[in-house]
Amino acid sequence: MRRENNWTIPNILTVFRIMLTPGFVMAFVSERIGLACILFIVASVTDALDGTLARVLKQRTSLGAMLDPLADKVLIVTGFLCLGLEGWVPAWLVVLVISRDMLIIGGLVVVNLWGVDVRNEIRPSFASKVNTTVQISLLFLVLTAHAGWMSLPNMEQGMIYFTGVLTVYTGFIYLKRGLALIPANGG
CA distance 123 to 168: 18
What would the pLDDT profile of 77-119 be if each residue is shown by its tens digit? 999 999 999 999 999 999 999 999 998 888 877 877 777 766 6
Domain range annotation of the chain? 9-181
Confidence of residue 181 (pLDDT cuts 50, 70, 90): confident
Q: Residue 40 — left, alpha, or beta (φ > 0 → left; ψ -120 to 50 → alpha)?
A: alpha
What would the pLDDT profile of 50-81 be if each residue is shown by its tens digit? 888 878 888 777 777 778 888 989 999 999 99
Identify the pLDDT of residue 74.
93
Residue 10 burial (CB < 10 Å; 0-12/13-18/19+)? buried
Mean pLDDT value of segment 136-147: 96
- Is the entire prediction scored with pTM above 0.85? yes
The answer, yes or no, to whether residue 187 has pLDDT greater than 60, is: no
Domain 9-181: which CATH number of 1.10.150, 2.60.40, 1.20.120, 2.30.30: 1.20.120
